[in-house]
Amino acid sequence: MFQPLTPFKWLGILGAIIVMLLLPMVTQDTYLLHVLILAMVFGIFASAWNFVTGFAGLKTFGHHAFFALGAYGSALIGINLGLSAWLTIWLGGLIAALAGLFIGLPILRIRSMPHVAIVTLGFAEIVRITLSNLTDITRGELGLWGIPVFDGFTVPGLGEVVFSPADKVPYYYLAFALLLLSVGVITALMRSKTGLSLIAMRDGEDAAESLGINLTRQKLQVFVVSSFLVGVAGAFYAHYITILTPAAVAGVDLMILIIAMVLVGGLGTLSGPLVGALVLTILVEFLRDLDTFRMLVYGAIIILSVMFLPKGLVTLGRRWKRPPDAAATEAE
Amino acid sequence: MTIYLFIEQIINGLIIGSTYALIGSGIALIYGTMRVLNLAHGEFYMLGGYFVFYLAVTMGLAPWIAIPTAVFGAFLLGMAIQRTTIHFLFGREGWMFSTIAATLGLSIFLQNAALLLFGEQFQTVPYYVSGVVELGQVRIPAQRILIFAVSMATIGVMTYVLKYTRLGWAIRATSQDRDAAAVVGIPAERIYMITFGIAAALGAIAAAMLAPIYSINPWSGLPILLKGFVVVILGGLGSFPGAIAGGLILGVVEAVGVQVTSSEWRDVISFGLMIAVIWWRPWGLFGQKPS
C-alpha cells in the first residue's frame, strides 16, 4: 500500500468512481440503489474497522458501539433540538469519537489482544443495554422513530434536491461522498508518517517503540479517527432509515456482518473492506428469502474465510500470478 | 429491606457466582493452555443446556443419568470443534486473531443452528431437588444449594486433576512450554483437544445446574460468554484459581448492584466493573503484574 499507485491502478480507481457516479443516470431502480446505499454505509464501517484492526493491529470487536452512538446521537439531537441532519451527522461522529477516546485509553495500555477483544465487546454491550433501558429517551426496543431526514436544497441548473424515501438518488450521492471522504481520510493517513508507524507497530511493537514511535498516541489517534468515521456512517444510516432499534444498530450481529465483510474482502488491504461490503450486501439480498439462514451463513463465511482464504478475495489475483515462494518472501 | 433479605441476596450472589466461575474457568483453561480466546464458549453452555433438556425432559431420564450424559456429549462436541477448526489455524500466521475470528463465526453459526434445530421457544427443566433450607430467618431453596455444591465440587475435582494427575501435569506442561513438553513425549495436539473438551464440559455443567432457574434458549450463550469474560478479566486471563475467585466476586457484586439499582442494569454493572478493573489493574485482581 506504500508503493506509488501504477497508472493501471489509478485507471481502475478512476473507473470505479466514474461507474458509481454514472450509475443513477442509467437506472433509478429504488431497490438497487437502496442495496448500494447500504453497501456504501457498510463499506465505510468496514474500512474504518479495518483501519484499526488490519492496519493498526488493534483487534477490536466492539465497533458497533460507535455506529450506534453516532446513529442515536445524531437522531436524538435532531429530534430534541431540531438541528439539521447536515450538522447532526458530524455531531454524531463527534460523540462516537469521544466514546472512542474513553474506551481507547484503557485498552491501549494493555498489549494483550484478547483483553482488547473482551473489553471492546463488553463496552458495546453496555451501549446496547443502556440504549434499550433508557426508554424515556430512546423508546428502547420499540424503536426510535420520527428521525428528521436531510433538508433539501436547490442546485443551480439541476433544480431542487429533495431527500425522501421515494427518491434514493440524493441519498446515493451523499453516501458515496461520505464513502469517498472516509476512504480518502484513511488512505491519506496510511500514506503519511502515521501509516508507516502503524505498519511498523503491527509488525513489531517493541522494535517500533525502540525507534522512537509513540505507540499510545498513534494508536489512540487511529482509534478515535476510526470511531468518528463509524459514527458518521451510523448517523447517515439513522437519517436514511429513520427508525432505530438497539438490537439493529448496537447488536453484535452488526459487528459480525462487518467482520465477515472485511475477512472476505481482505484484512489489512485498502480495497478489501469495500469489495467485501459490496459482495456480502448483495449476498444478503439473495438470501432474503432464506432469512432464518442468514446469520448461519455469516458464521460459516467467517469460519471458512479465516481457514481457507486468510488474506481475502482481493489478494487472490496476486497469489495466482506469482509462484508461492515469491509470495512468501513478499509477505516478509 | 431487612438485613436477612440482604444476606439472602449475598448468598444468592455467591451461588450464581459459582456457576460464573465454571464458565470463567473453562475460558481460562483454554486460554491458559493454548492462548486461544474462545468466543464460542457461550455456545457450549447453550448446547449443554439443550442436551440436558432433551435427555431429562423430552426423554424423561433421571437427572443423575441425564446430566453426566449431557456433560459427556459436550466434552465430545468440544473436542470435535477443536479438531475441525482451531486445529488448522493454530500456529499459522496471525493465528491469535484468526482463532478469535473463527470462534466468533462458530458462535454465531452454532447459535443459529440451534435456532433452526430447537426452535425459538424458551425451554426449562424442573427443579432437581425441592424444599427450602432455613438458617434462622435466611431461606435458601435447596436447588440453589445444590448448584453451589455441584459447582464447587466440580472446581475441586478440576483443581485436583490439574495438580495431581498425569493428564493435569501434561496440560500444565503444554501450557508452560509446548515444545519442551513435546520433547518429553507429551502429545500437544491431543492435549489441546482434551482441553477444549474439558472446557466444554465445564460449560455444560454450569448449564445443567442453571437450567431449572434460567431458561434454555438459542441466545443464552452470548450473555453467559460475556459474564465469563468479566470473570477472567477480574481473575487474570488464563489463571484457573483467579477465575474461581473472579466468579464469586462477580456474583456478589451483581447481587448487591441489582439491589441498589434494578435487575435490567445487571449486565451494565458487570461490564462496568470489568472496564474499571482494566483501568486499574489490567493484569487482573490476582494476576501478576507483567514486568
pLDDT, tens digit, for every residue of B81-129? 999 888 888 877 778 888 888 898 999 899 999 998 988 888 888 888 8
| Contact (CB<8Å) A306/B31 | no
Give the max Cα distance, chain B: 61
| Centroid of chain to Cα A311 | 19
| Residue-level pLDDT at A319 | 56
CA atoms within 13 A on the CB side of A228: 18
| Contact (CB<8Å) A300/B275 | no
Q: Is the pLDDT of residue B248 over 50?
A: yes
CA atoms within 13 A on the CB side of B161: 13
User: How many CB pairs (< 8 A) connect A and B?
Assistant: 126
List the single residue in B101, B222, B278 with the smallest CB-CB distance to A115.
Answer: B278
Q: What is the DSSP string of B267-281?
A: HHHHHHHHHHHHHH-
| Residue-level pLDDT at A187 | 87
| Residue-level pLDDT at B15 | 92
Q: Which amino acid is at A61?
A: F
Ranges of each domain in chain B: 3-218
Lowest mean pLDDT among A142-156, B30-44, B138-152, B169-183: A142-156
Nearest CA in chain A to B40: A299
Which residue in B81, B76, B69 sits closest to B41, CA to CA?
B81
Looking at beta carbons, which residues of chain B come within 8 Å of A53? 97
Instruction: Give start and end residues of each alpha helix (H) in chain A.
Output: 7-26, 30-50, 64-81, 85-109, 113-133, 135-138, 169-191, 193-203, 205-210, 215-241, 246-250, 252-265, 272-286, 294-308, 316-321, 324-331
List the single residue in A106, A129, A133 with the smallest CB-CB distance to B275.
Answer: A106
Q: How far apart are CA A254 and CA A248, in angstroms?
A: 7
Whole-number average pLDDT of chain B? 88
| Residue-level pLDDT at A42 | 93
Question: Which H helix or E strand runs over B138?
Answer: strand B138-141
Q: For residue range B48-64, what is the model confidence (pLDDT) as tens digits?
A: 999 999 999 888 888 88
| Contact (CB<8Å) A118/B97 | no
Residues of chain A with pLDDT under 70: 1-5, 317-332
Whether chain B has a CB inside 8 Å of the CB on A299: the answer is yes
Looking at beta carbons, which residues of chain A come within 8 Å of B98? 306, 310
Looking at beta carbons, which residues of chain B come within 8 Å of A256? 104-105, 108
List the single residue in B104, B113, B271 with the smallest CB-CB distance to A126.
Answer: B271
Ranges of each domain in chain A: 28-250
How long, in residues, is chain A?
332
Nearest CA in chain A to B32: A114
Nearest CA in chain A to B238: A114
Q: What is the 3-state secondary structure (H, E, C) of A287-327?
A: CHHHHHHHHHHHHHHHHHHHHHCCCCHHHHHHHHHCCHHHH
Could you tell me the pLDDT band of residue B34, with boundaries at 50, 70 and 90?
A: confident
| Contact (CB<8Å) A300/B109 | yes
